[in-house]
Amino acid sequence: MLLYRDSLFRLHHQTHGHPERPERLEAIDRMLQQAPYADRFHVGECRDATGDELARAHSRSYIHRVAATHGVPHTRFDSDTTANEHSYAAARRAAGSAIAAVDAILDGPDRRAFVLSRPPGHHAEAAHAAGFCFFNNAAIAAEHALARGLRRVCILDWDVHHGNGSMHSFYDRPDVLYASVHEYPHFPGTGRFGDIGHGAGEGYTISCPLPAGCADADYLHVLRNLVYPVAHEFNPDLVIVSAGYDAHRRDPLASMKLSTAAYEVFAVLDCELADSRAGGRLLYLLEGGYDTSALAEGVDASLRVLTGSTAAGTPGRDTVAEADTDDTAKVDTSVQDVARRLIELYKPYWPGLEAFS
Ligand SMILES: [Zn+2]
């Protein structure tokens, strides 16, 4: 597999004490130095997105607004999104590296890639920055894959926050399935029950709002009974994962209770989807995750699976067995109820869900 890292991603700073900070990548770097699977990945070549590539997901006037921050020490976009003199360059390289990873995956021989970039992307809208995000890396990567001739791209988003920008990018289109499991109500306030897409895109937005406090069994119940069955039925040519690690139980910005091992199980499910439907083509893009050690552990859990290394049993980590459960008794009754309602909601669009109701 391919791993994309660049020192530019650490030069983007927001305000003092901001949770989306360079230390996030430094923690991942430290983890990678000791990773037993270091010989199992190649280093991908990062590059900048062109203006035309950014314009597939953003308005020209907005791209110019972000570009105008280049070299300017401090530009505030909203209450929690601020650019420094390097932010535009970092954001453009994050988007470009996602595109480079799509190209590498399509051209082979590597079929899996993880872009470890900052700033993240899934809150960025077509014409404004939001939630620490400037350019929507997942949307730009999906558009690039379609421009290269793929017919269907699936974006799975298990960051704890709903990816409003990603959803809005494809809300009325059937060529990109956008599926999100997220805490609700919570920032950014989108991703309600019933957000199913519009027009030709009706049924192609899967929005799974879950109550605060969900643990591994709750997530896996919704993922196994709704999200992955729909994604398999969608039959994508490429799977893009908005990989945010802020649903971890130690994350300071949200109230979910995932163990580190949950990310290993998610990766197994992502690989199964990509391998069985998309010729193995699987792209992970880093989104959130604000407890730096939980973030590094989560990325490590993902990479153990993506590189085909050994899974469970490393001392000090949760075991996969703890996370990987089909035991409905462990699923909170309110989550069982949400899952039932979601399956009923999406069954008209995805007949395969009949088996799960
Ligand atoms: Zn997040």
- pLDDT, tens digit (0-9, with 9 covering 90-100), for 39-60: 999 999 999 999 999 999 999 9
Helix ranges restricted to H, 180-308: 216-222, 228-234, 260-277, 292-306
Considering only 103-117, 222-236, 297-311, which range has the smallest mean pLDDT?
A: 297-311
Distance 158 CA to ligand 1 centre (A): 9
pLDDT category of residue 291 using cuts at 50, 70 and 90: very high
Determine the pLDDT at residue 320. Answer: 54
Can you tell me whether residue 308 is helix, strand or coil?
coil
Looking at the predicted structure, is the pLDDT value of residue 315 above 60? no
Mean pLDDT of 95-115: 98
Q: Average the pLDDT over 79-93 and give the result.
A: 97
How remote is the CA of residue 71 from the centroid of ligand 1, in Å?
27
3-class DSSP state of 81? strand
Catalytic one among 58, 123, 161, 221?
Answer: 123
Q: What is the mean pLDDT of residues 159-174?
A: 98
The answer to whether residue 123 is catalytic is yes
Q: Give me ligand 1 centre to Cα 143, in Å.
A: 22
Mean pLDDT for the stretch of residues 284-308: 97
**How many CA atoms within 13 Å lie on the side-chain side of 144?**
26
Predicted local distance difference test score (pLDDT) of residue 317: 45
- Rounded Cα gap, residues 143 and 56, in angstroms: 7
pLDDT tens for 261-283 read: 999 999 999 999 999 999 999 99
Strands 42-43 and 75-78: unpaired
Q: Which CATH number is 252's domain given?
A: 3.40.800.20
Q: Is 80 exceeded by the pLDDT of residue 236?
A: yes
Cα(275) to ligand 1 centroid in Å equals 27
Which of 273-311 are b and which e, b meaning 16 or more Cβ less than 10 Å from the residue's Cβ?
bbeebbeebbbbbbbbbbbbebbbbbbbbbbbbbbeeeb
Q: How confident is the model at residue 322 (pLDDT cuts 50, 70, 90)?
A: low
Q: Which residues surround ligand 1, an ion (CB under 5 A)?
A: 159, 161, 244, 246, 288
Question: What is the reported pTM?
Answer: 0.96
Half-sphere exposure of 5 (CA within 13 A, CB side): 15
Residue 160 CA to ligand 1 center (angstroms) comes to: 5
Q: Which two tokens stand for residue 81?
A: 């999104």
Tell me: pLDDT of 328 over 90: no
Give the pLDDT mean for 214-225.
97
- 194 CA distance to ligand 1 middle (Å): 21
Q: Which structural domain, as residue segments, surrounds residue 333?
A: 2-356
Which phi and psi angles does 215 have, rounded to 5°? -110, -175
> Which pLDDT score is estimated for 314?
47
Q: d(Cα 283, Cα 273) in Å, to the nearest integer?
A: 12
CA of 208 to the centre of ligand 1 (A): 15
Neighbours of 127 (CB within 10 A): 12
Quick check: 349 pLDDT over 80? yes
Q: What is residue 189's three-state secondary structure?
A: coil
pLDDT at 115 over 90: yes
Considering only CA atoms, which of 174, 209, 230 is closest in space to residue 343? 230
Give the distance (Å) from ligand 1 centre to CA of residue 277: 27
Quote the number of domains for the chain: 1
The amino acid that residue 206 corresponds to is I
